[in-house]
Amino acid sequence: MKFLCVECDKQMAFEERQLPGDGTLAATFKCPKCGRVVAMLTNPMETQLVSSLGVEIGGRTVPEQPFETVRKMVSTGRDDAFDEGSEPRGHAAGPPSWSADAQERLARVPNFVRGMVKRIYADYARERGIAEITPAVMDTARAELGLEGM
Amino acid sequence: MPPIRTYHELTDADRSGLPEQIGAQRRRVAERLAGVGRVIAVMSGKGGVGKSYVTAHLARALARSGRAVGVLDADLNGPTIPRLLGIDHAPLPTSQNGIEPATGQDGVRCISMALLLEDGAPLAFKGPAAESFVWRGAMEASALREMLGDVSWGSLDTLLLDLPPGMQRYIELCDILAAPPAVLTVTIPTPESRDAVRRAMRAAAERGSQLLGIIENMTGQGFEGSAGDDLAQEFSVPVLARIPWHPTPDTWSALGTRL
């Protein structure tokens, strides 16, 4: 999918993606010449079609996780389907800690997908040298990585 | 207003890169299956002929003969392989590198939706309920892709894919895999089964799958007909086994040696 600024005859560049949580998706594109920004708004059916392919509009911000589509989209998954084990090895700094508030927030994520979400946040913090994951760190990561659905 | 340029005339990089994302998914499957000697789809155009039963026992027979075997239960909506392989539920070890398969009788490795769903629950997806048939097929194909590409199968001699009745899952497999899988067909002796299985075999042949042969199941009593022989003659493939109602381990071993 591409967007053309007809007036400038220029291909518009992807700017931002938002998932408001109601099943819809918003993506903005900007004309590199005149600066005009347009938003593409998809309805829940269109959004679902894209999700069902396991792809991300705007490109991937984190590597595809094992069973990502199944874990994000199956609503009847069992709580103890996956054993996430310990944190990945090979990181000298060790795993980041979780503040009490962040743990509480993480606990609200369904078990079926929680391990994957926890790993994504932990990787985000580790890569940026963040020692403790707090709700603020989670908010920043959500915005930066486009994790609105998690 | 000037003529509007077409999609292909716009040559700047598309940041979403959806075709590239799909390509990466395909590469992930190919890399994961690089250690698998051969992939065999066990299929039939007909339900209730015993595909899963045959798959599980064939897998065990191959494993007993010393081969490393995995079974992917591609019947996402009616998964039965874990029960047939005597697998009790246990959380599947997970890492960034993939999901470890469960291990069943005789060391057969297995992945199945039955290991992931709540007991007795149907496979249900989040999403708009209205017209869900539009996206549900794509969602199931994605689940199948992840079962192929995200499971740490390791080095396998044979990966058996237990397909549900019909052709849809086979077609999805052909799209996901780099090459159409070899096909092992299961039928019962009846002409009704023969007619349904014929369509499936023809579709598989047209897609370029190697037809390994036919297994005629539930022979000896109850069902009348010669579906196995009819299909074997029509497609020039062997009847690899005729499975009676009460097969012995030797029945399965003999089948294993013919594959």
Cβ-contact A84, A44 below 8 angstroms: no
Q: Which pair of tokens denotes residue B139? A: 């969602």
Which positions 7-66 of A are in contact with B (Cβ < 8 Å)? 9, 11, 13-14, 23, 44-45, 48-49, 51-60, 63-66
Confidence band for A148, pLDDT divided at 50, 70 and 90: low
The domains of chain B, with CATH numbers, are 36-258 (3.40.50.300)
How confident is the model over B210-250, as pLDDT tens digits? 999 999 999 988 899 999 999 999 999 999 999 999 999 89
CB spacing of B94 vs A9 below 8 angstroms: no
Least confident piece of the model among B51-55, B95-99, B156-160, B239-243: B95-99
The reported pLDDT for the residue numbered B35 is 94
B157-211 per-position pLDDT tens digit: 999 999 999 899 999 999 999 889 999 999 999 999 999 999 999 999 999 999 9
Q: Alpha helices of A40-97 — where are they, by DSSP H?
A: 44-52, 68-73
Residues B57 and B247: their CA atoms lie apart, in Å, by: 10
Tell me the ipTM for this assembly. Answer: 0.90
Q: Write down the mean pLDDT value for chain B.
A: 94
Distances (CA, A) of B168 to A72, B74, B103, B131, B141: 23, 11, 28, 19, 9
Percent of chain B scored above 90 by pLDDT? 81
Collect all residues of chain B within an 8 Å Cβ-Cβ radius of residue A66: 94-99, 146, 150
CB B125 within 8 A of CB B139: yes
Q: What is the pLDDT of residue A23?
A: 86
Q: Which residues have a Cβ under 8 Å from the Cβ of B117 and sit 6 or more positions away?
A: A74, A76, A77, A78, A81, B79, B123
Q: Minimum mean pLDDT among A59-63, A134-138, B77-81, B173-177: which range?
A: A59-63
Q: Do B91 and A76 touch (CB under 8 A)?
A: no
The rounded distance, in Å, linking the Cα atoms of B251 and B73 is 22
Sign of the torsion angle spanned by Cα atoms B117, B123, B174, B165: positive
The mean-pLDDT minimum among A18-27, A101-110, B109-118 falls in: A18-27
CB-based contact B142 A54, cutoff 8 Å: yes
**Could you read off the pLDDT of A69-127 as tens digits, one per residue?**
999 999 999 999 999 875 554 555 678 899 999 999 999 888 899 888 988 899 889 98
Question: What is the least distance, in Å, from the CA of B11 to any CA of chain A?
Answer: 8
Best mutation target among B142, B145, B175 (most A Cβ atoms within 10 Å) is: B142
pLDDT(B74) > 70? yes
pLDDT band at B19 (very low <50, low <70, confident <90, very high): confident
Q: In the predicted model, what is the mean pLDDT of residues A126-150?
A: 84
Res. B95: pLDDT tops 60: yes
Q: CA A48 to CA A55: how far, in whole Å?
A: 11
User: CA-CA distance, A101 to A119, in Å (whole number)?
Assistant: 17
* Lowest pLDDT segment from A93-97, B69-73, B78-82, B242-246: A93-97
Say whether pLDDT at A35 is over 90. yes
CATH architecture of the region A1-59: Single Sheet (2.20)
Cβ contacts of B122 on chain A, cutoff 8 Å: 76
Contact between residue B64 and residue B253 where contact means Cβ atoms under 8 Å apart: yes
Q: How far is CA B251 from CA A16, A46, B54, B189, B242, in A?
A: 61, 51, 11, 17, 9
Domain locations in chain A? 1-59, 61-150
**Residue B137 binned pLDDT confidence (cut-offs 50, 70, 90):** very high
Average pLDDT over residues B52-78: 97
Buried b / exposed e over A19-56, threshold 16 CB at 10 Å, is beeebebebbbbbeeeeeeeebebebbbbbbbbbbbbb
Percent of chain B exceeding pLDDT 70 equals 99
Note the pTM of the prediction, 2 decimals: 0.89
Cβ within 8 Å of residue B216, ≥6 positions away: B187, B188, B189, B227, B228, B239, B241, B242, B243
Among B170, B198, B187, CA closest to B243:
B187
User: Does A149 have pLDDT greater than 80?
Assistant: no
Output the DSSP codes for chain B.
-PPPPPGGG--S--TT-HHHHHHHHHHHHHHHGGGEEEEEEEE-SSTTS-HHHHHHHHHHHHHHTT--EEEEE--SSS--HHHHTTPPP-PEEEETTEEPPEE-GGG-EEEEGGGTBPTT----BSS--TTTHHHHHHHHHHHHHHHHHSB---SEEEEEEEPPSSSHHHHHHHHHSSSPPEEEEEE-SSHHHHHHHHHHHHHHHHHT--EEEEEEEEESSS----HHHHHHHHHT--EEEEEESS--HHHHHHHHHH-
Please give the pLDDT value at position B130. Answer: 83
Cβ-Cβ pairs closer than 8 A, A with B, add up to 153
